A and B are shown apart, each in its own frame.
Chain A
Amino acid sequence: MATTHYIEHYCRITEGRISKNGTLVFESGETEFSDFIKSAYKTLRIDYSKFFKMDSLSKLALVAADLLLLDEPEKNMALVFSNRASSLDTDRKHQQSIQDSESYYPSPAVFVYTLPNICLGEISIKHRLFSENGFFIFNRFKAGNLFDYANSLLAMQKAEKVLCGWVDFDCEKYDAFLYVVAKNGTFTHSKERINQLYQTL
């Protein structure tokens, strides 16, 4: 018989709002993502020395993860993230810097973020996680894939908990939904529940 797992906490960041477990924790009218996330970073008193050097996707992922991991003692926590745009927003910035052969000055600081899973590394560094991680590219949010992968990691005892979800950034549009799957928690871990929580701000 398959073990039942639970969703311990969840958070959402989109359209100027940040919520944790369904409760609004930050709201801003800033129209530019950089202003919004900077304001959130300062208001939520997140502390990470590299924050302002990171690309938008990593900033989004780090703030979302911090909401769930700040008071989390478990370090054997796998990370399973997904999105639609991969690192396309940063890829474009890099492409622009190498477009003109007469002015060919690619930025190393931009280039290092031209992979979506770099954000997992930033989260792992900040929270000192040495655990399994994976980043999947889907055309839309797919609860089923995340559900299966998280269950598999827990069943194979690859991790005690799994931080899962969706972190997407492209052309100023941002959407993050992360949740922690554990042996105990508030909600039963199911595809239906994941989809339901994703719809909740």
Chain B
Amino acid sequence: MTDLKLELKEKIIEQLNLEDVSITEIGDNDPLFGEGLGLDSIDALELIVMLDKDYGIKLADPKEGKKIFESVETMATYITSKKAN
């Protein structure tokens, strides 16, 4: 799971063009939206596309995203649980 979290941090930085953010600056439990990384609604859509494209996971209900994209930790937990099913 540690590798997955590292991978997610790399993907978030690259795909969301977080120019001045490094992997070490993103804590596993840091909020991705609001006061954390400051991601916005377009970023949320990018994360939904990323889940589909890179992990083959389609969100049936976009409202689920609020909990899934809370932090890198919650994303990794969700991806791991989906892959186990």
Contact = CB atoms under 8 A, between A and B. Distances in A.
Interface stretch (B3-11, B28-36, B43-51, B70-78): B43-51
Nearest to B43: A109
Contact of B17 (A52, A105, A106, A108): A52
B16 interface: yes
A115 interface: no
Contact of B42 (A38, A105, A112): A112
Nearest to A41: B19
A105 B49 contact: yes
A107 interface: yes
Contact of B38 (A49, A51, A105): A49
A108 B49 contact: yes
Interface string B14-27: 00111110000000
Contact of A108 (B38, B45, B53): B45
B14 to A, nearest CB: 11
A52 B19 contact: yes
Contacts of B18: 52
Contacts of B42: 53, 108-109, 112
A199 to B, nearest CB: 34
Nearest to B54: A105
Interface in A89-112: 105-109, 112
Interface string A42-54: 0000000101110
A69 B53 CA distance: 41
Interface in A28-83: 38, 49, 51-53
A33 to B, nearest CB: 15
Given A108-B42, A109-B42, A112-B42, A53 B16 contact: yes
A36 to B, nearest CB: 15
Indicate the member of B17, B18, B38 with the most A CB atoms within 10 Å.
Answer: B17
Contacts of A106: 49
A105 B52 contact: yes
Contacts of B16: 53, 109
B38 A107 contact: no
8 contacts: A51-B19, A52-B17, A105-B52, A108-B42, A108-B49, A109-B16, A109-B45, A109-B46
Given A105-B49, A107-B49, A108-B49, 18 more contacts: A38-B19, A49-B38, A51-B19, A52-B17, A52-B18, A52-B19, A53-B16, A53-B42, A105-B52, A106-B49, A107-B46, A108-B45, A108-B46, A109-B16, A109-B42, A109-B43, A109-B45, A112-B42
Q: Lowest 3 A-B CB distances belong to which pairs?
A: A108-B45, A52-B19, A52-B17
